[in-house]
Amino acid sequence: MINFELTDAQLALVAQAHEFARDVLRPAELELDRVADPEAVFTSKRFRDVVRETYRLGYHKMSFPTHMGGLGMDQVTIHLITEELLWGAPGIAQGIFVGGFVPFSAMMSGQSSLVREFAARYCEEGEVHFSALAGVEPHLGSDFLYVNENTTRLRTTARKVGDEYILNGSKAAFVSNGGIAGMLGVPACIEPERGMLGTGLFIIPGDLPGISRGKPLNKLGLRCLNQSEVYFEDVKVHKKYLAIRPRGENWRNFVHSFLCFGQVGVGSTAVALMRAAYEIAFAHAGERVQGGKPIIEHPNVGLKLFEAFSTIEAARNILLKGAWLNATQFPGDLAFTVAARAFACAHAPRVITEMIQVMGAYGISKESPIEKLYRDAKLTQIEDGTLDTVGLEAMRIMRESAASTSHAA
């Protein structure tokens, strides 16, 4: 029988994360969101301190095994805690979760030297190690996902010379943590004749000679998530850093597993944003009196809030199943996780607009955090693949699977 009840331990962990998100993360994110110059955000003591505090509590290493210094938590518990942190500070929290990309890839590679250098170091007490996936390039955004077609390839190249590869190329301005990551995941073209299937993933220290970064992107929302270009000029990388080789289905499996986790993370951000907006609007509607009664008692306002509540619950529950699927199969169920993410992210900006409507003019003021939630929500429709492109990829997989089932029948 399916059981939706959380254990006492899960409830306690969620409550603890909520308290931290409310008291520490949210005030920092609201303050930093207002800073006009993004460079000033990421060099500030405020940003460094809040990240250090989040690391001190171990939220960056929830999925890493205990023998390595991680917290060894299951995916469903991680998902519940993640929603709380995203609720408080979507930009800071996304940076922290994306920051585990290289250590996670090291674990996936199964190469003990990489596990030691990246995953074990990442889990050390007192250390703050951010990482980044420097994937998209100026000429190649959505095409990063299309591993089936040989019509395109990455222009960042890796040329083998003896025991080393020489990396050259530029990654686009959208790389999360691009300007601050001490560890980099770099997909590069090794076998050009195989298009995207000729891609290998290097995981490397971020301070190798020849690596440079752009300025942090000045953007609409998620302003506390650092994004910037990463440049590679004749960067010498030892062959041991090639975590995923361009062999057979390696690259496709990597992209699919990375997407499955990413879809659930981005969808969870959308849920957290909708929930935060709903809570603010609900409280306001209970206090604001117009037409002789609290506006929540006017059916049009009450129904808007109820519709938001049901959308949030539906999105949260479908994403929980996505998190569970990610934990139980490799490389995850892309069609399902895309569906879950699409549901949450397609609704998020609309639900938040409706919550602003409930607030009236109070909703557009910079004094209320709700306008920020709206700006943040738009980005969830683009990151980790636009809603359209991941939907098309999911549909392709569903057609392929239907065709193979009908052959078998």
Ligand X SMILES: Cc1cc2nc3c(=O)[nH]c(=O)nc-3n(C[C@H](O)[C@H](O)[C@H](O)COP(=O)(O)OP(=O)(O)OC[C@H]3O[C@@H](n4cnc5c(N)ncnc54)[C@H](O)[C@@H]3O)c2cc1C
Binding site for ligand X (CB under 6 A): 98, 132-133, 135-136, 141-142, 144, 174-176, 222, 227, 379, 382-386, 388-389, 392
Nearest to ligand X of 160, 215 (CB atom):
215
Q: Which residue number has the CB closest to ligand X?
A: 141
User: Could you tell me the smallest distance in angstroms from the CB atom of residue 136 to ligand X?
Assistant: 4
Q: Nearest-CA neighbor of 289 among 298, 280, 300, 302?
A: 298
Element spanning 245, H or E: none
Nearer to ligand X, 20 or 97 (CB): 97
Gap between the Cα atoms of 196 and 190, Å rounded: 10
N- to C-terminal Cα separation, the chain:
30
Residue among 109 and 227 whose Cβ is closer to ligand X: 227
Residue number with CB closer to ligand X (151 or 405): 151
Identify whether 331 is preceded by a cis peptide bond (ω within 30 of 0): yes
Nearer to ligand X, 242 or 379 (CB): 379
Give the shortest CB-404-to-ligand X separation in angstroms. Answer: 23
Question: CA-to-CA distance for 276 and 175, rounded, in angstroms?
Answer: 26
Backbone φ and ψ for 23, nearest 5 degrees, come out as -90, -30
Minimum Å gap between C-beta 128 and ligand X is: 18
Tell me how far, at minimum, the Cβ of 132 lies from ligand X, in Å: 6
Smallest distance from the beta carbon of 278 to ligand X, in angstroms?
22
Q: How far apart are CA 346 and CA 151, in angstroms?
A: 30
Tokens of 28: 């920092």
Report CA-CA distances (Å) from 182 to 26, 63, 128, 171: 25, 20, 9, 16
Q: Closest distance between ligand X and the C-beta of residue 357, in Å? A: 25
Among residues 92 and 120, whose Cβ is nearest to ligand X? Answer: 92
Q: Is 34:44 a contact under the CB 8 Å cutoff?
A: no
Residue 34 φ then ψ, to 5°? -85, -10
Identify which of residues 133 and 167 has a Cβ nearer to ligand X in the complex: 133
| 114 neighbors 106 (Cβ within 8 angstroms) | yes
Report in angstroms how near the CB of residue 30 gets to ligand X at its nearest: 18
Q: In the Cβ-directed half-sphere of 171, how many Cα atoms lie within 13 Å?
A: 30
